[in-house]
Amino acid sequence: MSNEKRLKIAIQKSGRLAEQSLKLLEKSGITLAKSRDQLLCRAENFPLDIFLVRDDDIPAFLATDVCQLGILGQNALLEKQALGNGKFADLRQVLPLGYGKCRLSMAVPHDFPYQSLASLEGKVIATSYRGLLSDYLTANNIKADIVTMEGAVEVAPRTHLADVICDLVSTGSTLISNGLVEKDVILRSEAVLVSNNIADEQIAALAEKVTSRIKSVLLAKNSRYVMLNSPTDSLAAIKAVLPGSQSPAVMPRQGRDDIVAVHAVCEEGVFWDTMEELKANGAKSILVMPIEKMLD
Ligand code: PRP
Ligand code: ZN
């Protein structure tokens, strides 16, 4: 057991993705042995070690093969790839994870006369995303000066460090409280599972297993188990209303030939209007239940 090979995954230690990334691993059946104040956590029940690091550093952990998998924002990965001179070219986005959604946007002070991107010609733009911004400006034929800042980009216009900014926007409240207005969206981003090229077969198999578990967790999270009674003669209409379900199970009810029971896994949200539509088509006793685990 002692020389058993272990997969290494890097996730954000603290910040916008940290909590949910850890939760996702836990839901995938990976139990952590140590407190998360440490850089390295060992999984108790899976040959996996978790590195808790700054998300900016995750691409380097992957590129140097200290870790083989990482969870980070697409923004952070693409920025490293934009700046990296090919150093990060082998890192692959394996699976979008549906959380940590944000966008990288241009934002200007209220009184800035913004008409189009061309209004930024010759201006000074503050950002933590020099790589993505300069690619975007080049692609749009705009020449501007870029001032790189590590954080607190939103204060740059007020302190006359820059005319406008290019920064991450999530809820938009940082922009509002700094008197800035969002303009062009340069990139939409969410958390993503990233892999390097895994040469070792055993490690690759472990990575495949973790990836497939995460896929299952995401699928289960978005899916619902629906049970209802359908009048036999409106079964076709009811099946058509069930969202994202392939071939539901249809079962007879004892002593009734006017109704059947329908059970279906719906791989989409089941909202009130869907339930009302089912009811309008004659469905009765409609139950919608969460699914804990799902493996195809
Ligand atoms: C980002 C961004 C803004 C804020 C936007 O910062 O730089 O400051 O989030 O979020 P909002 O639209 O919900 O207000 P982050 O939290 O990543 O920290 P940092 O700028 O200090 O790196
Ligand atoms: Zn910020």
Any idea which residue has 């910040």 for tokens?
Answer: 15
Q: Which residue from 59, 43, 39 is spatially nearest to 51, judged by alpha carbons?
A: 39
What does the block give as tokens for 167? 């920064």
How many CB atoms sit inside 10 A of residue 254's CB?
5
Between these two residues, 272 and 131, which has the higher pLDDT value? 131
Q: Which-ligand-closest: CA of 166?
A: 1
Average pLDDT, the chain: 94
Residue 48 and residue 29: Cα distance in Å, rounded? 12
Residue 202 and residue 206: Cα distance in Å, rounded? 6
Test site for ligand 1: of 128, 171, 174, most ligand atoms within 8 A of the Cβ: 174
DSSP codes of every residue in 15-27: STTHHHHHHHHHH
DSSP codes of every residue in 137-159: HHHTT---EEEE-SS-GGGTTTT
The pLDDT tens digits of the residues spanning 42-94 come to 998 999 999 999 999 999 999 999 999 999 999 999 999 999 889 999 999 99
Is any ligand 1 atom within 6 A of the Cβ of residue 18? no
Ligand 1 atom closest to residue 169's alpha carbon, by position in its atom list: 12
Ligand 1 atom closest to residue 150's alpha carbon, by position in its atom list: 22
Give the pLDDT score at 36.
Answer: 63
Is any ligand 1 atom within 6 A of the Cβ of residue 171? yes
Could you tell me if residue 273 is left (phi over 0), alpha (psi between -120 and 50 degrees) or otherwise beta? alpha
Is any ligand 1 atom within 6 A of the Cβ of residue 172? yes
Is any ligand 1 atom within 6 A of the Cβ of residue 154? yes
At residue 35, does pLDDT exceed 80? no
At residue 114, does pLDDT exceed 80? yes
Q: Which stretch of DSSP H or E encloses residue 257?
A: strand 256-266
Residue pair 217/295 in contact (Cβ under 8 Å)? The answer is no
In the chain, the amino acid numbered 25 is L
**Beta strand 145-148 with 124-127: parallel, antiparallel or unpaired?**
parallel
At residue 243, does pLDDT exceed 70? yes
Ligand 1 atom closest to residue 174's alpha carbon, by position in its atom list: 14
Give the pLDDT score at 293.
Answer: 86
| 11: Cα separation from own chain's centroid | 13
Give the pLDDT score at 33.
Answer: 76
What interhelical angle do 130-139 and 74-83 show, nearest 10? 70
At residue 296, does pLDDT exceed 80? no
Residue pair 125/142 in contact (Cβ under 8 Å)? The answer is no
Provide mean pLDDT across the span 256-262. 95
How much of the chain exceeds pLDDT 90, in percent?
84
Handedness of CA 248, 249, 253, 258 (dihedral sign): positive
At residue 34, does pLDDT exceed 70? no
